[in-house]
Structure 1
Amino acid sequence: MSPENHSFRTVRASSAARALTLIGDRWTLLALYAAFRGVSRFDGFVAHTGMARSLLTDRLGRLEAAGILARRPYQERPVRYGYHLTAKGLDLFDAALMILRWDQKRGDAPTDPAHRVLHRTCGCELVAELTCKACGEAVSARNTTVAPGPGAGLDPAPGPRAQRRSIVEGEGGIPPVAERAIAVLGDRWTSHLVAAAFYGLRRFADLQAELGAASNILSDRLARLVSLGVLDRVRYQERPERWEYRLTDEGRELFPLIVALMAWGDRWLAGPEGPPEMLTHTPCGQRLEAVVRCAACGGVVGPETTGLG
């Protein structure tokens, strides 16, 4: 597909997709991960992410331009700057916790200190749960429905990235806690495929129509999500042989992250017409307003109760 033709493609408007387009890049996610761990100085970002300095300069500049990081001087001669999370950046906290939660749900989850966050309110190691504010029940793909919102419509399809795709495990200075999540989210096509799967899209042609991806790219990313255990490849027709891609149990555990990204996108990326989609929590019938709580004590979780951000 030529760039000229691609520029006229549109996709379903989605706050989660808008958020992923903005931050769903491997190196951007690594920079944000470091920022939430308290890193603010350039050399600290280099040490925590393993990024080349030129690449890091680019990603920090993008996050600053997006209003997620703010640059502030900490030294006058010579002038040196630190990069700090803004209110918009700190508001990604729920999404960051849902990434942590997804890795904690794995049976082989790493046990290094970077994987553990203490909930100061109760003193327990934090296991975050996304819950409905109205009824307090946990949010899942099976108890939530989506309908068009006042901002429903079409968005321009994200353009191709100039940078080489990079989702190879073990690359750079990536902590084990974040590796698999970044493998899923750190590539535009894989992250958007996961979001499309939650719309119930399973077949190759339907996914291609939704995302506008070239066939070879779509095949590659579907194979990667199967290898990561997020999708199952299931044959639904024998002659000719045809396959569909269904979310695994582990893949469905990503739903709270999609909800957190959608809520952030509604707050920061929606136009004046409002959010493009509305979620309803079926157990209570209320429009979903999600809140992160500690599984141990039930208390609300925020940066001030964990020491992150």
Structure 2
Amino acid sequence: MPVAAKLQTPRASAKSKTPLTAARSAAGRTERNCSVARTLDIVSDAWAFLIIREAFFGTQTFEAFRSALGIPRATLTDRLKKLTQLAIFRQVAPGSSQRKEYRLTKMGFDLYPSFIALMQFGDRWLSKGKPPPLTLVHATCGCESHPIVTCSHCGEGVAAREATYRDGPGAGRSPAKAGRNTRRPSDGSRFVLGRPSSVSRALEIIGDKWSFMVVREGFFGNRRYDRILNELAIAPNILTDRLNRLVANGVLRRRQYQTSPERYEYLLTDMGLELYGPFIAMLRWGDRWLSKGKPPLILTHIKCGHDFDPRVDCDQCKTPILAADMRYRLAYDPKSFGALGPRSVD
């Protein structure tokens, strides 16, 4: 994910030396190659996200997923099949049982840091003054943990203005992927089904394709309506809707730069800038599992001067967090939602 270090547009590569109007090609709309978008292709489907979230809390059987989420049987069957085909889950028949269980693969478990980065964002910005639904306890160090996104080289936290970027070997544009989630944020209420979740609150805001892409353009330094319109080849009414909603949600702010006629640019707020951590956590997952060894972007940490992979570390012991090492203090009773766990501590 690009950064707001200097809010510049990305340096053109041999692959990408095309005008913005290239977003519309003879073969149809094209999109910037982006590992975050590839990750959101999976988790921005509300049912898929909720199923993966429940799996992190120990749910493995069809009926347990259905009980926790109230999901229709046909929908659950479809999503479990797709997530298995994507290698997020694998099917296991324990012992002599004919009943199959759905267990996260290594690829699936590797989504956990991205979920935790989104959770930290939701806890800070979207809790509306209420205590977070759960508090993390890192079993490795025994401390209450508030994980941070860090540089893999020096271990220090990385904020939006503390990194730069350049094109990677996978840079360029590709035909727009059909079928990606384009729901309006107001239609994202499914994200909050089941147990309380700060990750759900975050995805309500940036979980649809266009909202995410508009915010991403802010990190690329594209602030003005016409430039965003051309870069994304988005319908004007949809862009206006997403900009208005992102302003209303506090992710962007409008600033007038012309009076006759009135023109505005859209800048990331402090809240918007803090989406950088979750974005680059998702970028790391997409680079690792979906880029075929050719990441679209390479990030450089300004403070240490090295290229880096984003990590999500415990803020106390500075080691990477793993799902198996986390315990939870809950502010709710999972049984009230027909759900399992997660592994709690007193």
Q: TM-score, normalised by structure 2?
A: 0.79
Q: CA deviation at 1:95?
A: 0.4
Instruction: Render the CA deviation track for 1:267-287: whole Å, top value 9, x for unaligned.
Output: 111135x21110000111100
Asked if residue 153 in structure 1 is aligned to residue 159 in structure 2, the reply is: no
CA RMSD of aligned residues (A): 2.6
How far apart are the structure 2 equivalents of 1:73 and 1:105? 41
Equivalence map 1:1-309=2 (5 Å):
8-74=28-94, 79-106=98-125, 108=128, 110-111=130-131, 114-160=133-179, 166-168=187-189, 172-173=193-194, 175-272=196-293, 274-307=294-327
Compared CA separation, residues 135 and 32, structure 1 to 2 (3 A): same
CA distance in 2, matches of 1:207, 1:200: 10
Aligned residues of 1:146 and 1:279 also touching (Cα < 8 A):
yes
SS in 1 for 2:267: strand
**Taking structure 1 as reference, are residues 180 and 65 closer, same or farther at Cα in structure 2, changes over 3 Å only?**
same
- The one-character-per-residue Cα deviations of 1:121-143 (angstroms, maximum 9, x if unpaired) are 22222200111122221111100
SS at match of 1:118: strand
Question: Which residue identity is paired with 2:43?
Answer: I
Letter in 1 for 2:100: Y
Change (3 A) 1:156 1:133: same
Q: Structure 1's 287 and 171: CA in aligned 2 closer, same or farther, altered over 3 A?
A: closer
Q: Distance in 2 between matches of 1:186 and 1:174?
A: 18
Tell me: CA distance 1:168–1:54, structure 2 relative to 1, closer, same or farther (3 Å).
Answer: same
Q: Is the Cα–Cα contact under 8 Å of residues 32 and 174 in structure 2 kept in the other structure?
A: yes
Is there any run of 5+ residues in structure 2 with no aligned partner, and where? 1-24, 328-341
Contact 1:7 1:157 in 2 (8 A): no
Q: What SS is found at the alignment partner of 2:245? A: helix
Please report how far the alpha carbon of residue 154 of structure 1 lies from its aligned counterpart in structure 2 after TM superposition. 1.1
In structure 2, the CA distance between the partners of 1:161 and 1:94, relative to structure 1 (3 Å rule), is closer
Q: Distance in 2 between matches of 1:59 and 1:6?
A: 34
**Aligned letter for 2:63?**
D
Unmatched tracts of structure 1, length 5 or more: none
Task: Output the CA distance in 1 between the equivalents of 2:176 and 2:110.
Answer: 25
Q: How many residues of Structure 1 are paired with residues of Structure 2 in the alignment?
A: 303
**TM-score scaled by length of structure 1:** 0.88
Residues 170/85 of structure 1: CA separation in 2 closer, same or farther (3 Å cut)? closer
Give aligned-pair identity as a percent: 38
Amino acid across the alignment from 1:227: A
CA contact (8 A) 1:26 1:183 kept: no
Give how far 1:244 is off: 1.8
In structure 2, the residue corresponding to 1:168 is in which secondary structure? helix
How far apart are the structure 1 equivalents of 2:26 and 2:205?
Answer: 24
Alpha-carbon shift at residue 145 of structure 1 (Å): 0.7
